[in-house]
Structure 1
């Protein structure tokens, strides 16, 4: 099947729902026979997310997690965090250019840039090198103006109210 024209999306902002929106697009694409790849930055193998179970049952969707078993310190990332992000980026570039996938999602790539794990220039080059028939989705808070300017779609998720502000922690099945 494939796409006639692939565009670039950026889902960013402080509100909840960026990865969820990308997952919704993944399900829509897979439902139409497109091949989807999700590359998760900074989400190591020991983290458990509800979507993992569901997506493993969806034909045409592949997801790969890169990261360590700890949260990244944004002010002082560990060398292992940088190495994992660079491996993720190399994998992402290879798969994006392979022509195998119709939709490629780079989950939390904006945060990886903000934390200094990946450079903005590397993401700009990734966008520029995207094959014309591949849809690219980049998620995460802190998208730079330069990255946003290169995208065809930019959606900013705004946090108006969140249960965490009332002391309610993230809930399994709802928030992860």
Structure 2
């Protein structure tokens, strides 16, 4: 790179650095973060579990409620439970397999009561509510109850909600919203879900 090109590059990067530094200086409020990870693409729970692992890696306490995939072996659960992460699992599996609204509602409510306990516990730095959006959509858990529990949690506790079709009131309340978009999925090409990659 010529000296002139290097100077131009350095000037551009200095402008970028200045903007980044200004944003960092402006973001000084300290509080727990409420994040919603939604959309039709693969990777919502995986993203949430990555944040749980990050918190644990920093010596923080994390807890997880799983509302859908409880009957499957879960690689993240296998790992994170050994690191002290509490898991509460609905254990009914996919609602389209049980096809019993009454028993699914009871199971969802039992799991939700445990989630509410976590959301009141100041010692828990991060709570992940995996696939809870389905429970709200199906009417198994009341949306307003979720909004109230998340809003009244300890000030420094962070919460991650995952699942498709997150209600607008959840995304409005959230500090961070990520939408995972499906471009292409191996399952659509007939490829079986792979242990260690898909679950």
TM value normalised by structure 1? 0.89
User: What pairs with 1:60-75 in structure 2 (closer than 5 Å)?
Assistant: 60-68=84-92, 70-73=93-96
Greater length-normalized contact order (CA 8 Å, ≥ 6 residues apart): 1
1:105 aligns with 2:133: no
For residue 39 of structure 1, the aligned residue among 65, 79, 95 is 65
User: What pairs with 1:10-49 in structure 2 (closer than 5 Å)?
Assistant: 10-44=36-70, 46-49=71-74
Residue in structure 1 matched with residue 35 of structure 2 by the alignment: 9
Deviation at 1:77?
4.4
Deviation at 1:96?
1.2
The one-character-per-residue Cα deviations of 1:62-107 (angstroms, maximum 9, x if unpaired) are: 2221131x42039x64211111111111111112102120101111
Distance in 1 (alpha carbons) for counterparts of 2:100 and 2:152: 28
Distance in 2 (alpha carbons) for counterparts of 1:79 and 1:109: 17
Deviation at 1:150?
0.2
Q: Which has more radius of gyration?
A: 2
Unpaired runs of 5+ residues, structure 1, are: none
SS at match of 1:73: helix
Work out whether residues 10 and 137 of structure 1, in 8 Å CA contact, stay in contact via their aligned partners in 2. Answer: yes
Unpaired runs of 5+ residues, structure 2, are: 1-29
Structure with more helix by fraction:
2
Q: Which runs of 4+ in 1 moved over 2 A?
A: none
Aligned residues: 169
RMSD: 1.6
